[in-house]
Amino acid sequence: MSVIFNFIKKYDYFLFLIFIIFLNENFLEYIDQNPPLSEISKFYSRIISLLFIIFFTVYKIYSSKKFLTVIKTFFLFILIFGSIDIFFSILGFGNLFKNNEHLIRRYPSPYDMFAPKPNVRAHNSFGFKGKEFVKFNDGVTVTIAFFGGSTGYNGAPPIINRVGDLLSKKNINNFTYNFSSTSSNHTQHLHRLIKFLDYNFDIIIFYGGGNETEGYYLYDPRAGYPYNFYYKELVDTNFLIYSLIRYSSFFGELESRTGLLSGLFKIKKVYQGNYDEWEKNIVNQYIKDVTIAKNISEKLIKSNYCKKTNFISIFQPLNFIDNKEVNLTSLIKNKMNNEDFFLDYSSLKNKVEFLNENTNRIHITNDSKQIIASHMIEDIVNIIDNCR
């Protein structure tokens, strides 16, 4: 035992460096035979790394007995670990300045804060999925604008594209615009709608409920604020903390679970301290967003095929387990159920399949998107039949 202890004591920093490199999730992903690493593997990598730092700190306490030395060593270990984590994250083993998924899905956009990045993958010049947007004034094409979060963005094809295909099979000439983007909420969709006032839309759909409830409950609690808005504020106020969260997987995980680095936990304490009042604000924000969107749609936007533009707000099926989240969605639906433009698809929860019933409360499988589209087509055809 003493031989091992002496060996560790002699080469402690070198051993720490080696272990931290081999435990780093970017390194593990590089050597993985079937990348990318699963989320659970990344989580274990971060936890084991943290335990490893604690182990070396305890070892220093045992070997040094000097409190100041132990404190200095602990922060040195954290610095070494963070530097390696950030180094591998940025370089990606040769892929310098590699495209980051979150920058492709949430690219800076005036007024609505972020939208998909233009002209990459299947994105058009505006950054949205699908064909290049066309302005119609022919009187024969049904034009449908779809605003949603990741459930509207994801899919092969996405929900609204499936709707367009089903309409074509019914010999209804149509063009669909998918304005969905990952993590966006209806306040952002409202601003996004204003940006495209010069297009003629027959039907405008606000599809959501998840980002408008869980988005505020788990992330930024301020009603009407975009996802991660507090995080963007760090760029101007504390660039060091921003960089740690942005580039270090470990510190990013720590932030997402505690909000300690950015100060999000303080924001939650202020806004969710009086929970009943906060809950009312979230419900009122939903009502405000869809009501204003309806007024804009019907009063400011010109139609192409229909006599006037039609607006509908669809509440998506959700797999919430947390009682507070369930109650929040119930409050919104109870307030909105008497509105003729509000369509509640919550009952489809038992027909669709969620990606992971234990951890994924919003996202559904690709096949389940067809179930949503088939259900939606009934409501849309009914609007088209009566819109002349």
What pLDDT shows up at residue 242?
A: 78
Q: Is residue 143 located within the same domain as residue 66?
A: no
% of the chain with per-residue pLDDT over 90: 58
Residue 336: give its domain's CATH number. Answer: 3.40.50.1110
What pLDDT shows up at residue 263?
A: 84
What pLDDT shows up at residue 273?
A: 93
Give the side-chain half-sphere CA count within 13 A for 378.
Answer: 7
Phi and psi angles of residue 311, each rounded to the nearest 5 degrees, phi first: -120, 135
What pLDDT shows up at residue 94?
A: 38
Residue whose structure tokens are 């580039």: 247
What pLDDT shows up at residue 297?
A: 98
What pLDDT shows up at residue 30?
A: 62
- Spell out the residues 6+ positions from residue 107 whose beta carbon is closer than 8 angstroms to its own: 114, 115, 116, 117, 118, 127
Give domain status of residue 154, yes or no.
yes
The token duo for 32 is 């993985």
What pLDDT shows up at residue 95?
A: 42
Of the three residues 71, 91, 111, the one that is the final residue of a domain is 91
Q: Is residue 59 located within the same domain as residue 193?
A: no
Q: Is residue 112 located within the same domain as residue 214?
A: yes
What pLDDT shows up at residue 264?
A: 86
Give domain status of residue 340, yes or no.
yes
Contact between residue 251 and residue 261 where contact means Cβ atoms under 8 Å apart: yes
Give domain status of residue 87, yes or no.
yes
Q: Is residue 69 located within the same domain as residue 139?
A: no
Give domain status of residue 239, yes or no.
no
What pLDDT shows up at residue 93?
A: 45
Give domain status of residue 254, yes or no.
no
Contact between residue 107 and residue 127 where contact means Cβ atoms under 8 Å apart: yes
Pairing between β-strand 174-178 and β-strand 142-147 as defined by DSSP bridges? parallel
**Helix 159-169 vs helix 366-386: crossing angle, to nearest 10:** 50
What pLDDT shows up at residue 104?
A: 80
Domain containing 334 equals 103-221+272-386
Does residue 157 have a cis bond before it (omega within 30 degrees)?
A: yes
What pLDDT shows up at residue 173?
A: 98
Q: Is residue 34 located within the same domain as residue 122?
A: no
Q: Is residue 209 located within the same domain as residue 332?
A: yes
pTM confidence score:
0.80
Q: Is residue 167 located within the same domain as residue 36?
A: no
Of the three residues 66, 91, 116, the one that is the final residue of a domain is 91
User: For the sheet containing 342-344, what is the strand order?
Assistant: 174-178, 142-147, 203-208, 310-315, 342-344
C-alpha to C-alpha distance for 198 and 33, rounded to whole angstroms: 50
- Beta partners for residue 171, in sequence order: none
Give domain status of residue 15, yes or no.
yes
pLDDT tens digit at each of 388 positions of the chain: 556 556 556 666 666 667 666 666 666 666 665 656 666 776 667 777 777 777 776 776 666 666 666 666 666 666 666 666 666 665 554 343 344 666 788 888 888 999 999 999 899 999 999 999 999 999 999 999 999 999 999 999 999 999 999 999 999 999 999 999 999 999 999 999 999 999 999 999 999 999 999 999 998 999 999 988 887 777 777 877 877 777 777 777 778 778 888 888 889 999 999 999 999 999 999 999 999 999 999 999 999 999 999 999 999 999 999 999 999 999 999 999 999 999 999 999 999 999 875 567 899 999 999 999 999 999 999 999 999 8
Q: Is residue 77 located within the same domain as residue 152?
A: no
What pLDDT shows up at residue 203?
A: 98
Of the three residues 56, 91, 126, the one that is the final residue of a domain is 91
What pLDDT shows up at residue 96?
A: 37
Q: Is residue 79 located within the same domain as residue 110?
A: no
What pLDDT shows up at residue 289?
A: 98
Q: Is residue 278 located within the same domain as residue 356?
A: yes
C-alpha to C-alpha distance for 279 and 343, rounded to whole angstroms: 22
As a residue count, the chain comes to 388
Give domain status of residue 243, yes or no.
no
C-alpha to C-alpha distance for 164 and 162, rounded to whole angstroms: 5
Planar angle of CA 231, 237, 240, nearest 5 degrees: 80
Give domain status of residue 207, yes or no.
yes
Residue whose structure tokens are 């994105």: 123
- What is the total count of domains within the chain? 2
Q: Is residue 338 located within the same domain as residue 212?
A: yes
Q: Is residue 76 located within the same domain as residue 51?
A: yes
C-alpha to C-alpha distance for 192 and 234, rounded to whole angstroms: 25
